[in-house]
Amino acid sequence: MTQDEVIIAIKDIIAQIAPDEDLTNLEMDVRLREQIELDSMDFLDIVMELRKLYGVQVPEKDYMELATLAGCVKYLHPLLEKKPLHCAQGAPIS
Amino acid sequence: MSGRSSPRAKYYRGSTDGRRPLGHDPLAKVRAAYDVVVIGSGLAGLTAANVLGKLGHRVALFEQHYNFGGLATWFKRRGGHVFDISLHGFPVGMIKTCRRHWTLEIAQRIVRLDSIRFDNPQFRFETAFTRADFTEKLVGVFGAERSRVEEFFAHLRAMNFYDANRETVAEVFERFFPGRNDIHRLLLEPIAYANGSALDDPAIAYGIVFSNFMSSGVYTFSGGTDLLVGLMRAELERNRVELFSNAEVERILVENGAAVGVVVGGREVRAGAVLSNASLGTTVQRLVGPGHFEASFAQGVSAVRLNNSSCQVYMGLTEGATIPFVTDLLFSSSRERFDSRSLCDFHGESRTFSFYYPKTRPQSERYAVVSSTNANWGDWAGLSQEQYEREKAKLAADTLRELERHVPGVTSKLDHVEVATPRTFGFYTQHPEGTSFGTKFEGLEYSLKLHEQVRGLFHAGSVGIIMSGWLGAANYGVIAAAKLDPYLAGLATLAAAKGR
Ligand SMILES: Cc1cc2nc3c(=O)[nH]c(=O)nc-3n(C[C@H](O)[C@H](O)[C@H](O)COP(=O)(O)OP(=O)(O)OC[C@H]3O[C@@H](n4cnc5c(N)ncnc54)[C@H](O)[C@@H]3O)c2cc1C
């Protein structure tokens, strides 16, 4: 996965968890929770989806690293670099 | 209260009338080792087990009672009666939690209650139990200023668990609605019944739970608790979780500072990690033993205060008998003024009635009413058997008199009346002092940090008020599973490195 694909992967997971949110104009450096309705259980579900889809384990102490999209890329890209992008529930990537 | 009286007869089945040895070995199929052992089948234990099973871990769950579900339970009585214990109402968030971590079928059976009523000397009305309707009531019935009400709701919603703000419920109420005991009653009484919240508890715990309810009213599970737990068991089995009932965990095994298994029914079962859904205090003091924790941590846990217990009166209508629709949930009190402590009074004047019509269990035509009160262990624990029976009879009589006020003629239609007390709840869950809602706020921090003391030891279950109730407990199961999973991955990496 490239860095851009990491963003696609994350947005795809968020789209599953918060289907009513518009994700097209998300800012990279602003906390996700300030841009869309995500409660702490939703956030946990993102972590769990990363685990299910890509086998990535995010320990609790690192949860804060995923607060922004930029943070997600920084933290996840090294872990996802060698993995192919696919989408939650097999939805095509647009 | 415990079944450890005779060393040989290890397996018991029973009720508060007494335990008797089981005819079979409930652990006949247990394996020597699992990835995870879960102790207790409350909603937190069940949900954690399911999430971990779905992630591919081999999970065994041990429950000391013969039934699964913990306080999310029911019982049957001759004459076709079925009574639910804790199916009075929960927030809408349960739908999302069940859809993601259980099944769509479970989520789709969650439906909103049609009606909730208050009836006390300060006010009487029906409410949708939403922010919009509470705002109308606060402005229209209580004469509060609309802007003040809006500010109050906004303040609660904005509360963040990580804020250091330790204002109490009473302080927040006084700040927004000074001297308005009637408003304080409206705002707190239902939540006090839902999770033991009191005026002197931190406002944060109250704020989170109250906001959850206010977002869209009160929900229930259509089909009853028996159906819910049945569907959960089926899903657990699909995820290859091995379930054992009548299986009391006696000890959690700790080696070199890490939890490595349990002793259950006299047998050792090894595990990569242990998740306890037993109460926090029991887990630390009895199952692990305080010696495995830093002294200050163990002392801190002993000082954690417990929430109150409950009394209930179960009233079943004779087959064929009906009552008109009154409401689903009735907060009833004859007490002039409100204070949260008096909700626990011995033979107090406040109770909630839950009405179960055929809509609750669409498969049956039966009606039942369950009355619940908050209660203190101390008022019931020391009674002699004779006093105990007398006090139970008084509680039943007082309750029927109150119910008759709301539903004239109902008494003559009942053919089963039964009382549960803190002793009953203590017996069935083994929770200290029969606590219905776990610990007060301070318990949460210890619960979350258990694995920092003993590696591979996790807790999920009613603590800190926030994590109690059906939704809180189920969500805590998810949170604990999400923490436990990377720990197991770490163990696997370590084992692989050693093997190389
Ligand atoms: C009367 C009453 C009414 C309630 N009404 C509502 C309501 O309307 N809505 C709502 O949301 N919540 C309600 N609640 C609260 C809710 O039921 C609980 O908060 C929730 O079910 C607790 O789940 P839990 O996972 O914390 O554990 P529990 O349900 O407490 O389960 C813990 C389990 O662990 C088992 N266990 C303990 N020790 C051992 C051991 N050593 N070995 C094996 N097993 C062990 C116990 O037997 C038990 O099954 C009510 C509670 C009561 C008592």
pLDDT in tens, B302-345: 999 999 999 999 999 999 999 999 999 999 999 999 988 899 99
User: Which residues in A lie closer than 8 A to residue B51 (C-beta atoms)?
Assistant: 48
Write the Ramachandran bin of B105: left for phi over 0, alpha for psi from -120 to 50, otherwise beta: alpha
Same domain, B300 and B328: no
Our answer on whether the CB atom of B225 is closer than 6 Å to any ligand 1 atom is: no
3-class DSSP state of B153? helix
**How distant, in Å, are the alpha carbons of A44, B91, B204 from that of B165?**
24, 25, 8
Q: Dihedral of the CA atoms B345, B347, B348, B350 (nearest 10)?
A: 120
Mean pLDDT, residues B11-37: 79
CA distance A14 to chain B (A): 13
**Nearest one of A55, A76, A57, A77 to A66, comparing CA atoms:** A76
User: Which residues in B lie closer than 8 A to residue A41 (C-beta atoms)?
Assistant: 93, 96-97, 475, 478
Q: Among the atoms of ligand 1, which is closest to the Cα of residue B249?
A: 42
Per-residue pLDDT tens digits for B182-220: 999 999 999 999 989 999 999 999 999 999 999 999 999
Same domain, B290 and B318: no
- How close is the Cα of B431 to the center of ligand 1, in Å? 9
Q: Show which of B378, B394, B429 is a domain's final residue.
A: B429
User: Residue A90 falls within a domain, yes or no?
Assistant: no
Write the Ramachandran bin of B289: left for phi over 0, alpha for psi from -120 to 50, otherwise beta: left
Same domain, B346 and B260: no
Say what angle helices B469-499 and B203-214 make with each other, to 10 degrees: 110
User: Residue A93 falls within a domain, yes or no?
Assistant: no
Same domain, B392 and B407: yes
Lowest mean pLDDT among A28-37, B146-155, B417-426: A28-37
Our answer on whether the CB atom of B277 is closer than 6 Å to any ligand 1 atom is: yes
As a whole number, the mean pLDDT across chain B is 93
CB-based contact B482 A44, cutoff 8 Å? yes
**Nearest one of B58, B57, B76 to B66, comparing CA atoms:** B76
Kindly tell me the burial class for residue B65, based on how many C-beta atoms sit within 10 Å of its own C-beta (0-12, 13-18, 19 or more): buried
Residue B1, pLDDT above cutoff 60: no
Residue B374, pLDDT above cutoff 90: yes
Q: Show which of B406, B429, B452 is a domain's final residue.
A: B429
User: Which residues in A lie closer than 8 A to residue B483 (C-beta atoms)?
Assistant: 59-60
> Alpha-carbon distance B40 to B245, whole Å?
9
Per-residue pLDDT tens digits for B54-79: 999 999 999 999 999 999 999 999 99
User: Residue B87 falls within a domain, yes or no?
Assistant: no
User: Residue B83 falls within a domain, yes or no?
Assistant: no
Same domain, B352 and B450: no
Tell me the percentage of chain B whose pLDDT exceeds 70.
Answer: 95
Q: What is the DSSP string of B437-460?
A: S-B-TTHHHHHHHHHHHSBTEEE-
User: Residue A46 falls within a domain, yes or no?
Assistant: yes
> Alpha-carbon distance B115 to B330, whole Å?
9
Tell me the backbone φ, ψ of residue B358, rounded to 5 degrees. Answer: -55, -25
Asked if B263 and B39 touch (Cβ cutoff 8 Å), the reply is no
Residue A93, pLDDT above cutoff 70: no
Per-residue pLDDT tens digits for B449-476: 999 999 999 999 999 988 999 999 999 9
Range of the domain at B334: 308-429
Mean pLDDT, residues A43-56: 92
> Alpha-carbon distance B348 to B308, whole Å?
14
Range of the domain at A18: 3-25+34-80
**Nearest one of A94, A56, A55 to A75, comparing CA atoms:** A56
3-class DSSP state of B465? coil
Reported pTM: 0.94
Residue B12, pLDDT above cutoff 80: no
A90: pLDDT confidence band, cut at 50, 70 and 90?
A: low
CB-based contact A60 B482, cutoff 8 Å? yes
**Nearest one of B316, B355, B404, B406 to B115, comparing CA atoms:** B355
Our answer on whether the CB atom of B430 is closer than 6 Å to any ligand 1 atom is: yes
Same domain, B329 and B472: no
- How close is the Cα of B88 to the center of ligand 1, in Å? 14
User: Residue A88 falls within a domain, yes or no?
Assistant: no
Residue B389, pLDDT above cutoff 50: yes
User: Residue A39 falls within a domain, yes or no?
Assistant: yes
**Nearest one of B229, B232, B198, B193 to B213, comparing CA atoms:** B193
**Nearest one of B26, B36, B33 to B275, comparing CA atoms:** B36
Name the amino acid, one letter, at B314: Y
Name the amino acid, one letter, at B104: L
> Alpha-carbon distance B245 to B236, whole Å?
14
Q: Using CA coordinates, name the residue in chain B closest to A48.
A: B482
CB-based contact B486 A41, cutoff 8 Å? no
User: Residue B421 falls within a domain, yes or no?
Assistant: yes
C-alpha angle with apex A22: A21 to A26, nearest 5 degrees? 110
**Nearest one of B178, B271, B171 to B491, comparing CA atoms:** B271
**Nearest one of B60, B117, B84, B144 to B367, comparing CA atoms:** B84
> Alpha-carbon distance B437 to B340, whole Å?
15
pLDDT of residue B7: 36
**CB < 8 Å & 24+ apart, contacts of B168-172:** B168/B199, B168/B200, B168/B201, B168/B202, B168/B203, B169/B197, B169/B198, B169/B199, B169/B200, B169/B201, B169/B202, B169/B203, B169/B206, B170/B199, B170/B200, B171/B203, B172/B203, B172/B206, B172/B207
Residue B496, pLDDT above cutoff 90: no
CB-based contact A45 B100, cutoff 8 Å? yes
Q: Using CA coordinates, name the residue in chain A closest to B451.
A: A60
3-class DSSP state of B303? helix
Asked if A16 and B71 touch (Cβ cutoff 8 Å), the reply is no
Mean pLDDT, residues A64-92: 87
B403: pLDDT confidence band, cut at 50, 70 and 90?
A: very high
Residue with tokens 């239609």: B413
Asked if B329 and B89 touch (Cβ cutoff 8 Å), the reply is yes
Residue with tokens 């860095």: A3
Asked if B254 and B454 touch (Cβ cutoff 8 Å), the reply is yes
pLDDT of residue A37: 87
User: Residue B49 falls within a domain, yes or no?
Assistant: yes
User: Residue A74 falls within a domain, yes or no?
Assistant: yes
3-class DSSP state of B38? strand
- How close is the Cα of B43 to the center of ligand 1, in Å? 7
User: Residue B204 falls within a domain, yes or no?
Assistant: yes
Residue B10, pLDDT above cutoff 50: no
User: Residue B224 falls within a domain, yes or no?
Assistant: no
The two tokens of residue B204 are 């944060």
- How close is the Cα of B370 to the center of ligand 1, in Å? 17
Which ranges in B316-453 belong to alpha helices (H)?
377-381, 385-406, 422-429, 443-453
Q: How many domains in chain A?
A: 1
User: Residue A86 falls within a domain, yes or no?
Assistant: no
User: Residue B258 falls within a domain, yes or no?
Assistant: yes
Residue B3, pLDDT above cutoff 50: no
CB-based contact B483 A44, cutoff 8 Å? no
Q: How many domains in chain B?
A: 3
Lowest mean pLDDT among B159-168, B174-183, B233-242, B413-422: B159-168
Q: What CATH number does residue A72 fall under?
A: 1.10.1200.10
Same domain, B396 and B493: no
CB-facing half-sphere around the CA of B183: CA atoms within 13 A: 26
Q: What CATH number does residue B31 fall under?
A: 3.50.50.60
Option in A40, A41, A58 nearest B486 (CB): A58
User: Residue A61 falls within a domain, yes or no?
Assistant: yes
pLDDT of residue A86: 82
Residue B19, pLDDT above cutoff 90: no
User: Residue B88 falls within a domain, yes or no?
Assistant: no
**Nearest one of A16, A2, A38 to A87, comparing CA atoms:** A16
> Does the structure's ipTM exceed the value 0.90?
no
Per-residue pLDDT tens digits for B99-142: 999 999 999 999 999 999 999 999 999 999 999 999 999 999 99
Q: Show which of B214, B235, B255 is a domain's final residue.
A: B214
Asked if B366 and B415 touch (Cβ cutoff 8 Å), the reply is no
C-alpha angle with apex B110: B217 to B463, nearest 5 degrees? 70
User: Which residues in A lie closer than 8 A to residue B485 (C-beta atoms)?
Assistant: 51, 57
B363: pLDDT confidence band, cut at 50, 70 and 90?
A: confident
**Nearest one of A91, A78, A66, A89 to A2, comparing CA atoms:** A78
Same domain, B314 and B421: yes
Tell me the percentage of chain B whose pLDDT exceeds 90.
Answer: 87
**DSSP annotation of A93:** P
